[in-house]
Structure 1
Amino acid sequence: MERADTKGDVTDVSARPAAPVAEGVRLLDGMPRQRGPVEAVSVRPGAPGGAAPSRRVLRPWRLLPTPTGTPFTFTYATVLLVTASIAAHADPTLVHTLHQGSSTDVAHLVRTPVLVLVTSALWVVGGVTSPYAIVFLLVLTALERRIGGLRTAGVFALGHVLATLATEVPVGLAVLAGWLPESSLHRLDYGISFGVAASVGALAGVLRPWLGWPVLVVFGGMLVEDLVAYTDPMTNWGHVMALAIGVATWPWLRRRRPV
């Protein structure tokens, strides 16, 4: 193929060196000096001109539960809000009766273990403004967004049940041995703190290391500080054990993490 330039000379186009062509790219026939492949650019659908690159946008509201994004945490938080309102506004005698009937003390665990293990997790000690209520919202929301609602419920239940049994069974044995009075069998015990502690331990394992390890160290340090203060040793030991239960779920959560 030849073409004439403006001076009337004839130039052999085929003598020019061909531009490098990437493998797998088909050029149009009869169109010399075509450009090489253009680097792919991620565009945001609907952007003006279709050339704006897509970027991840920070959404602070994702820290809180939603009905569609985190249905388990949202539903559970709604139930806790209702029970906290009852505890704050109902007759104190009625509230004490409800708390006593939901207590996971040794006497109730022997008679109705399943009932009290479920109902004891429907109350928040200190109301919705307590530290554990706030941690509940943030931690369970983050955990459910990463591992799903079913496994989040499993982690919470595992920590709540195992830590409760680990603290109450020794009390029953100590009463049988004569080391504790029989009144210890009716020790008032309810709340969500064991499940929350286990959820914190589990969340630390599915976060990136630069964030997960500080969360684990800070929260664990607070539990150890409470344990050293020795104000409520049984509950404080239960928190430490629940945190360890959450950490123990790391292999399971990491192996079966959804993409």
Structure 2
Amino acid sequence: MNQSVRPAGAASDAKTPGTLNGIPRQSTRQPPAGEDRGPRAGHPAGTATRRLRPWQLLPTPTGTPFTFGYALVLAATSLLARYADPDLVASLLHGSSTDVAHLAQSPVLVLVASALWIAGGITSPYAIVFLLVLTALERRIGGLRTAGVFLLGHVVATLATEVPVGFSVLAGHLPDTSLHRLDYGISFGVAASVGALAGLLTPWLRWPVLVGFGGMLVDDLIAFTDPMTNWGHLLALLVGVATWPLLRHRPGADRGASPTGSGPRPAAGPRRAP
């Protein structure tokens, strides 16, 4: 008659509730309160569920410092433009204009100064788009890269629309007054930010955003009220789209990240004997 052999430690395990006879080294430790118990049913490993709260749509000093600080500056200049002496405001706007004459004299100064004003004031649609889009973009890629996208669109679209004006004046196709065309505002940077943010959205939301915003810009171009600026808006949108490959790759994502992307890869410890 065969006699069953109980593995070492089975006697003690048999007296412990919740263990099975014949299976050694069963852990009976209960995780303390607050300790991660692993993925729950319906939630794959490495997947965190996040709910978007209403106040996260607007900039905050700690969450989106670049957008928050920039918004305060724009609010101040908008109030200045509304309530200050009209002659002073006109002088400041002309001094901040990125026209050909100013770009030839002090390009860096006017490129920065022109982005401190909102054409149309704080009630302009671009002011609302600025708050929503740059807040969302900064929450995804950080303040430094958000500032880079905004500045890239602002500079590229400005130069692409003003430099041809200068050559047209030299060729005699435009009058000399075109060298002093009033041009300022944040619209080029906002358009580039919309294009960049679209690349970080899910496809079902990305294409409606691009088609809707791009269609609005095309309508403005067809109206032919300010063709140079309207072409600049479309170009800035394309500049934002061109940044997709750079923004989708997060710096440091390949260093210390777990395969699921849920956090740092745990340090390798001693392997437990079978």
Between the two proteins, what is the percent identity of the paired residues?
Answer: 72
Match of 2:119 among 125, 145, 151: 125
Output one character per residue of 1:125-160: Cα deviation in whole Å (capped at 9) or x when no partner.
Answer: 111111000000000000000000000000000000
Match of 1:58 in 2: 52
1:205 equivalent to 2:199? Answer yes
Matches of 1:71 and 1:225, distance apart in 2: 34
1:214 equivalent to 2:208? Answer yes
Deviates more, 1:82-91 or 1:212-221: 212-221
1:246 equivalent to 2:230? Answer no
Inter-CA distance 142–176: structure 2 relative to 1 (3 Å threshold): same
Match of 2:176 among 182, 191, 201: 182
Output one character per residue of 1:137-191: Cα deviation in whole Å (capped at 9) or x when no partner.
Answer: 0000000000000000000000000000000000000000000000000000000
Task: Return the offset for 1:34.
Answer: 3.1
Matches of 1:197 and 1:212, distance apart in 2: 14
Matches of 1:202 and 1:258, distance apart in 2: 20
TM-score by length of 2: 0.77
Task: Return the offset for 1:45.
Answer: 5.0
Alpha carbon RMSD of aligned pairs, Å?
3.0
Output one character per residue of 1:7-50: Cα deviation in whole Å (capped at 9) or x when no partner.
Answer: xxxxxxx8xxxxxxxxxxx996223783689xxxxx9959xxxx
Q: Are the counterparts in 2 of residues 147 and 258 from structure 1 also a CA contact under 8 Å?
A: no
Q: Are the counterparts in 1 of residues 133 and 194 from structure 2 also a CA contact under 8 Å?
A: yes
Match of 1:92 in 2: 86
Match of 2:77 among 78, 83, 86: 83
1:136 equivalent to 2:130? Answer yes
Task: Return the offset for 1:56.
Answer: 3.6
Q: Which runs of 5+ in 2 are unaligned?
A: 5-9, 21-25, 27-31, 36-42, 254-274
The residue type equivalent to 1:147 in the other structure is I
Task: Return the offset for 1:256.
Answer: 2.6
Match of 1:154 among 135, 145, 148: 148
Kindly indicate which of the two structures has a greater share of residues assigned to helix. 1
Match of 2:14 among 23, 30, 35: 30
Output one character per residue of 1:177-220: Cα deviation in whole Å (capped at 9) or x when no partner.
Answer: 00000000000000000000000000000112221221111101
Match of 1:116 among 103, 110, 129: 110
For the pair shown, which has the larger CA radius of gyration, 1 or 2?
A: 1
Inter-CA distance 98–208: structure 2 relative to 1 (3 Å threshold): same
Query: Number of aligned pairs?
Result: 230
Matches of 1:31 and 1:108, distance apart in 2: 88
The residue type equivalent to 1:226 in the other structure is D
Q: Are the counterparts in 2 of residues 201 and 247 from structure 1 also a CA contact under 8 Å?
A: yes
Matches of 2:70 and 2:156, distance apart in 1: 20
TM-score by length of 1: 0.81
Inter-CA distance 101–30: structure 2 relative to 1 (3 Å threshold): same
